[in-house]
């Protein structure tokens, strides 16, 4: 059995707290590894290493820092298949989907290679008599990232690549459910020439997270995970004086207008609703057909497609999706289906009793489809995070828009239509951070920013793109004047440009 410790000061270290957890292989249900849970002292050791390494790294010119990113990219591409297989085995998603997880992370590494350009400041010559004014962006120091189970390559890379490229040292606390890939990524960064101590991985649970939030030498914390934890980390981190951004849960709606191409809409719902077993923060979990006729056609087309979804082990080449991450999460998702039935929603496809032949202990379930879900039901209000799609019928476009706007989450949303006016109106009025027009999972590319609104995001700046550089640096503005430009005598009034 594998034994994950921590990665501190450029090398693997064994856990010393005496506390550890199990990492499962969801497709078989077996325990694949033990993962150490860091104590406060182990987090402090990682911070010491990071603090020692950071000044020299920040003083390394940005082109050299970019070259480390380039080399890392080359090595990650060399090990692509190996990384994807470990990811699939620990998470449960298919290998093909694991490759996408890795790829969307590497695209942010590609973005971070532009750091010499991204860090350029501003300069004004002659801002006053003999006065020049300029601004620069400087690294914060030691920063940390706390990441969820569902994208164990992508989100750690979204966090650490821009932070490190900016000249910070980084402490990563990945999910304790699938820490294998984050550990491999840290090794690859070392092989790429990143100095020891610039990237450290501490595994663990709440104790490690609290140690990060309480450590006075950690300047900023980026979090991705569920909303209750996001809110906790945002509050605790901010009150400790840190810069904090937290991205939380989601309930993503897809509005289907009567003029939409229904076959395309169904394809989109099947992929975005059930891909990765619905364990994506940008999964579509609510379909909102506008008008009874649209709803009837949609549900009739969806039923056979949900019934014929191919569920298989993560290593299967032709599975649409694999098992869920743990037995506990599987139970939680099935419980939500029970709740939906009790609440009066119509379960059109029931995947609760699906068993995978030859993998009877794996954490599998089939796709579920609910019709006639209403806004007061728990299955509508709460994030299920499984292969369960709810159809909420809306009479009008305005009602569909209002549903998305009234929901407490505001991560992603989509509209399917051929009507440019409707799409434009929707994009302007919807209270959600990421909007798709005939695109069901509108995850922006690396050079734009990613972030939800309302209770899907806490903090001012988004992830990756230009906001990541703003989040991981602080701006300094210098006003300079040389002796030849200075007048004699003290100035007692505030200088102005009058």
> Is residue 456 a contact point for ligand NAD (CB under 6 A)?
yes
Cα 272 to Cα 252: distance, rounded to the nearest angstrom = 10
**Residue 181: CB minimum distance to ligand NAD, A:** 14
- Of the chain, the end-to-end C-alpha distance in Å amounts to 73
Size (the chain), residues: 498
488 by DSSP, 3-state: which?
A: coil
**Residue 386: CB minimum distance to ligand NAD, A:** 11
Interacting residue with ligand NAD among 58, 69, 198, 209 (CB under 6 A): 209
Interacting residue with ligand NAD among 50, 146, 295, 309 (CB under 6 A): 146
Cα 338 to Cα 23: distance, rounded to the nearest angstrom = 28
Which CA distances in Å does 411 have to 132, 307, 336, 414, 442? 43, 28, 21, 11, 10
**Residue 228: CB minimum distance to ligand NAD, A:** 7
Nearer residue to ligand NAD within complex by CB, 57 or 223: 223
Nearer residue to ligand NAD within complex by CB, 181 or 209: 209
Interacting residue with ligand NAD among 28, 54, 112, 150 (CB under 6 A): 150
Nearer residue to ligand NAD within complex by CB, 203 or 294: 203
The four Cα atoms 182, 184, 190, 191 give a dihedral, to 10 degrees, of: -150
User: Are the C-beta atoms of residues 27 and 362 closer than 8 Å to each other?
Assistant: yes
256 by DSSP, 3-state: which?
A: strand
Three-point CA angle 237, 243, 245, nearest 5° = 80
Residue ranges in 222-241 that form contacts with ligand NAD under rule CB under 6 A: 224-226, 229
> Is residue 449 a contact point for ligand NAD (CB under 6 A)?
no
CB atoms within 10 A of CB 498: 3
Choose the stretch contacting ligand NAD; rule: CB under 6 A; options: 42-50, 70-78, 218-226, 414-422. Answer: 218-226
**Residue 99: CB minimum distance to ligand NAD, A:** 18
**Residue 142: CB minimum distance to ligand NAD, A:** 18
Q: Which residues contact 20 (CB under 8 A, 6 or more apart)?
A: 34, 35, 36, 37
Residue ranges in 468-487 that form contacts with ligand NAD under rule CB under 6 A: none
**Total residues in contact with ligand NAD, by rule CB under 6 A:** 26
Choose the stretch contacting ligand NAD; rule: CB under 6 A; options: 30-38, 140-148, 424-432, 439-447. Answer: 140-148
Helix ranges (DSSP H) in 113-223 = 115-118, 154-165, 180-191, 206-214
The reply to whether 281 belongs to the active site is yes
Nearer residue to ligand NAD within complex by CB, 205 or 261: 205
Identify the CA nearest to 121 among candidates 141, 137, 109.
137
CB atoms within 10 A of CB 116: 14
Cα 313 to Cα 88: distance, rounded to the nearest angstrom = 9
Q: Which residues contact 148 (CB under 8 A, 6 or more apart)?
A: 155, 175, 224, 225, 226
> Is residue 206 a contact point for ligand NAD (CB under 6 A)?
yes
Q: Which two tokens stand for residue 104?
A: 């969307």
Interacting residue with ligand NAD among 28, 112, 168, 175 (CB under 6 A): 175
Three-point CA angle 401, 410, 322, nearest 5° = 105
Nearer residue to ligand NAD within complex by CB, 214 or 343: 214
> Is residue 149 a contact point for ligand NAD (CB under 6 A)?
yes
**Residue 329: CB minimum distance to ligand NAD, A:** 8
Cα 415 to Cα 299: distance, rounded to the nearest angstrom = 17
Q: Which residue is nearest to ligand NAD (CB)?
A: 225
Interacting residue with ligand NAD among 141, 386, 452, 459 (CB under 6 A): 452
Choose the stretch contacting ligand NAD; rule: CB under 6 A; options: 51-59, 172-180, 184-192, 336-344. Answer: 172-180
**Residue 195: CB minimum distance to ligand NAD, A:** 25
Nearer residue to ligand NAD within complex by CB, 54 or 150: 150
Residue ranges in 377-436 that form contacts with ligand NAD under rule CB under 6 A: 383, 385, 411
Residue in 160, 166, 246, 281 annotated catalytic: 281
CB atoms within 10 A of CB 316: 18
Cα 142 to Cα 157: distance, rounded to the nearest angstrom = 16
**Residue 164: CB minimum distance to ligand NAD, A:** 19
Q: Which two tokens stand for residue 369?
A: 């489809």
Residue ranges in 248-307 that form contacts with ligand NAD under rule CB under 6 A: 248-250, 281
Contacts to ligand NAD by CB under 6 A:
146-151, 173, 175-176, 205-206, 209, 224-226, 229, 247-250, 281, 383, 385, 411, 452, 456
Q: Active-site positions? A: 281
């Amino acid at each position: 059995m594998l034994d994950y410790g921590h990665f501190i000061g450029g090398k693997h270290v064994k856990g010393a707290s005496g506390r550890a957890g199990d990492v499962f292989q969801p497709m078989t249900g077996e325990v694949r590894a033990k993962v150490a849970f860091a104590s406060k002292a182990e987090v402090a050791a990682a911070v010491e290493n990071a603090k020692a390494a950071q000044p020299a790294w920040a003083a390394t010119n940005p082109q050299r820092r970019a070259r480390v990113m380039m080399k890392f990219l080359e090595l990650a591409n060399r090990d692509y298949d190996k990384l994807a297989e470990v990811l699939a085995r620990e998470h449960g998603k298919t290998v093909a989907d694991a490759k996408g997880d890795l790829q969307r992370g590497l695209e942010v590494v590609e973005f971070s290679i532009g750091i010499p350009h991204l860090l350029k400041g501003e300069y004004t010559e002659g801002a006053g008599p003999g006065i020049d004014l300029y601004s620069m962006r400087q690294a914060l120091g030691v920063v940390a990232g706390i990441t969820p189970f569902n994208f164990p390559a992508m989100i750690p890379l979204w966090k650490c690549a821009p932070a490190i490229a900016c000249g910070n040292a980084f402490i990563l606390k990945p999910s304790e459910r699938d820490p294998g890939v984050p550990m491999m990524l840290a090794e690859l960064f070392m092989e790429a020439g990143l100095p020891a101590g610039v990237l450290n991985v501490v595994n663990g649970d709440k104790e490690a997270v609290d140690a990060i939030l309480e450590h006075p030498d950690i300047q900023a914390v980026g979090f991705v995970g569920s909303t209750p934890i996001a809110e906790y980390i945002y509050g605790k981190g901010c009150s400790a004086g840190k810069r904090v951004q937290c991205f939380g849960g989601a309930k993503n709606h897809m509005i289907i207008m009567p003029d939409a191409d229904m076959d395309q809409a169904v394809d989109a719902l099947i992929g975005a609703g059930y891909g990765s077993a619905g364990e994506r923060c940008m999964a579509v979990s609510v379909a909102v057909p506008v008008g009874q006729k649209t709803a009837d056609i949609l549900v009739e087309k969806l039923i056979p497609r949900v019934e014929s979804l191919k569920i298989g082990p993560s290593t299967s080449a032709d599975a649409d999706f694999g098992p869920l991450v743990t037995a506990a999460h599987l139970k939680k998702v099935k419980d939500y289906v029970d709740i939906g039935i009790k609440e009066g929603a119509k379960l059109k496809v029931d995947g609760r009793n699906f068993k995978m032949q030859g993998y009877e202990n794996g954490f599998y379930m089939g796709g579920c489809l609910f019709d006639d879900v209403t806004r007061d039901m728990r299955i509508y209000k709460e994030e299920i995070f499984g292969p369960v799609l709810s159809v909420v019928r809306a009479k009008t476009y305005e009602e569909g828009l209002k549903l998305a706007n009234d929901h407490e989450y505001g991560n992603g949303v989509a509209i399917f239509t051929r009507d440019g006016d409707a799409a434009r109106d929707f994009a302007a009025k919807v209270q959600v951070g990421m909007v798709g027009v005939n695109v069901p999972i509108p995850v922006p590319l690396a050079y734009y920013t990613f972030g939800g609104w309302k209770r899907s995001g806490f903090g001012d700046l988004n992830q990756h793109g230009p906001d990541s550089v703003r989040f991981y640096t602080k701006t300094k503005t210098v006003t300079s004047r040389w002796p030849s430009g200075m007048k004699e005598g003290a100035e007692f009034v505030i200088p102005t440009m009058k």
